[in-house]
Structure formats: C-alpha cells, structure tokens
Amino acid sequence: MNNIKVFESISEFQKYRKNLTGTVGFVPTMGALHEGHATLLRRSASENENSILSIYVNPTQFNNPTDLEKYPKTFEADLKLAADCGISAILSPSFSEMYSDNYRFKMSENEFSKILCGAHRPGHFDGVLTIVLKFLNIVQPDNAYFGEKDFQQYQLIKDMCHSFLVNCNIVSEKTVREKSGLAMSSRNKRLSSAGFEKAALIYQMLKSTDSVTDIKKKLTADGFEIDYVEEIKNRRFIAVTLEGIRLIDNVEI
Ligand code: PAF
C-alpha cells in the first residue's frame, strides 16, 4: 500500500493541505467503494498532482433512518482501493466536526432539487449540497469528480458552485455498469442475488423505446415499487425500490 494519509481531524487535514503543491483533485464519497468510485479516483489521480478522497456517511441527506443505518461500511477495503487508485489522502471526519453548528445553517435550492429524487426524499438535496459545500471549503480542490448515475446531484452541485463562486471545476464521469447493465451503487451490496439479477431491468427500461406508462407497467409487474419514471430535457430517469432498497439510474435519450 502506498503512503496514503488518513485524517479524522479537519484542522490536521488543513495543515497538510497548506503544504500541498500542484493541483488537487477531490472525490467525495460515503464509502463502500465500488468500481464506479474507482473510476473517479483513478481519473482524479491521473489529472491532478494530489488527490483527496472523503469518506463520510452524511446523515442529513438520509430521509429514511433505516437506509442510513443499513448503509454499508467497508473502511479497510476502501482504504486499499484508494491506495491502489493513487489517492494521496483520505478525509473521514466525525459528525461533530462536520456539523459543529448542529445543522443550523444549510444550503438549499428551490427548483431542480424539488423534482425527481427531491420530490420523493424531502431534505435530501439540502443535506447533499450542504455537506459538499463544506467539503469543498475544507479541501479547496481544483477539480471535484462526480458520477453521472446521480445526475441530478451532479447538476445541482455544478450550479451551486457557479452561484456561490466556488473556484472548483465540477467534473462528471460516465456511469459504470455491471455486465447486466445495472448501474454500480453501494446499495447493490444489499440486494439478494435474485434481486441483483432482476435489477438489470432498470437499465433495459432506460434504453427501451417503450413509453413511460409502459415502462411503469413492466417494472411494477416485475415487483419493483416505482418512485418515478420521467423524461426531462434529454434524459430519462428511473427511481424504484426493490427488496426495500432504493435504486436510481438515468441515461441520455
Ligand atoms: O454521492 C454521494 O455519495 C453523496 O451524495 C456525496 C456526494 C458524497 C455527499 O454526501
């Protein structure tokens, strides 16, 4: 394993950050890393002299306590993957460090965050935008990397940085998929093997020429609970629950 540094203290990280020379890339995550994250980490490492990974399961973006509680935690494996991908340091602070104000202040957006996932997960994007802005302030990266699976999240973060004059380039990376087409996600680890196979239908439906109504019918008939199937601008978005696990994906159409 290379000499990867792990920081739990924000002030210790900031001392380290001050001495970095060259560009800094940043990949914010909630851990339970998979090949989708690895693609972001390798890209950051190839495009920047230094790359920082944050691992922080952010409670304010979970509207469902069971989802938060069951979020997979695989720190040792994450550390190894990060080192293999050429990451220089990991930042993994506690709740009290990240929310010293106990979430008194938050970032919110009033348009795009209110539809799709925002309409089904009240407060979710406030939590995401707040934590990402905090991390961008701590890490001060030149480039920050986000996966297209969470397209709404990526777009909102990009727009927030533009609005608040955050001097960081927000980069998106194509969704990494299983052989079946299922988008990689930390939540996939919680599916049974039958569920994992069945979940491939999401991508098939995203790519199909069926109408939104027919897609909903097919997914429901196969045991998926539907949050939404929507076409907005040039993208088709699907969010469903299978075996109690919420899965989202989208493609350009
Ligand atoms: O995409 C995620 O894993 C999270 O929403 C993020 C961007 C790390 C913020 O907690």
Q: What is the pLDDT of residues 228-246, one digit of tens each?
A: 999 999 999 999 999 999 9
Contact status, residue 40 vs residue 146, Cβ threshold 8 Å = yes
Question: Mean pLDDT of all residues in the chain?
Answer: 97
As given in the structure block, the two tokens for residue 56 are 């922080």
Closest CA to 244 of 219, 230, 223: 223
Checking DSSP bridges between strand 235-242 and strand 245-252, what pairing results, if any?
antiparallel
Q: Within 13 Å and on the Cβ side, how many CA atoms surround 145?
A: 25
Pull the structure tokens for residue 30.
Answer: 């909630």
**According to the model, what pLDDT value does residue 249 have?**
98
Helix ranges, the chain (H)? 10-18, 35-47, 65-69, 75-84, 95-98, 117-120, 124-139, 151-163, 193-198, 200-207, 212-221
Closest residue by CA, ligand 1 atom 3: 29
pTM of the model: 0.97
Q: CA–CA separation, 2 vs 87, rounded Å?
A: 9
Are the beta carbons of 228 and 235 closer than 8 angstroms?
no
Tens of pLDDT, residue by residue over 111-169, are 999 999 999 999 999 999 999 999 999 999 999 999 999 999 999 999 999 999 999 99
Q: Which of 26, 41, 58 to mutate to test the pocket of ligand 1 (most atoms within 8 A of CB)?
A: 58
Give the whole-angstrom CA distance, residue 163 versus residue 238.
28
* Strand 169-173 with 143-147, pairing: parallel
55: Cβ below 6 Å to ligand 1?
A: no
Question: Is the confidence at residue 66, as pLDDT, over 60?
Answer: yes
3: confidence class by pLDDT, cuts 50, 70, 90: confident
Class in CATH terms, 5-173: alpha beta
Residues 80 and 1: their CA atoms lie apart, in Å, by: 7
User: What atom of ligand 1 comes closest to residue 29's alpha carbon?
Assistant: 8
Residue 2 in this model has a pLDDT that exceeds 70: no
With a 6 Å cutoff on the Cβ, whether 33 touches ligand 1 is no
Q: Is 34 one of the catalytic residues?
A: no
Q: 29 CB less than 6 Å from ligand 1?
A: yes
CATH superfamily placement of domain 186-252: Pantoate-beta-alanine ligase, C-terminal domain (3.30.1300.10)
Banded model confidence at residue 184, pLDDT cuts 50, 70, 90 = very high
- pLDDT > 70? residue 216: yes
Q: Where are the domains of the chain?
A: 5-173, 186-252
Query: Ligand 1: does its nearest atom lie under 6 Å from the Cβ of 82?
Result: no
Phi-psi region of 227 (alpha: psi -120 to 50; beta: other; left: phi over 0): alpha
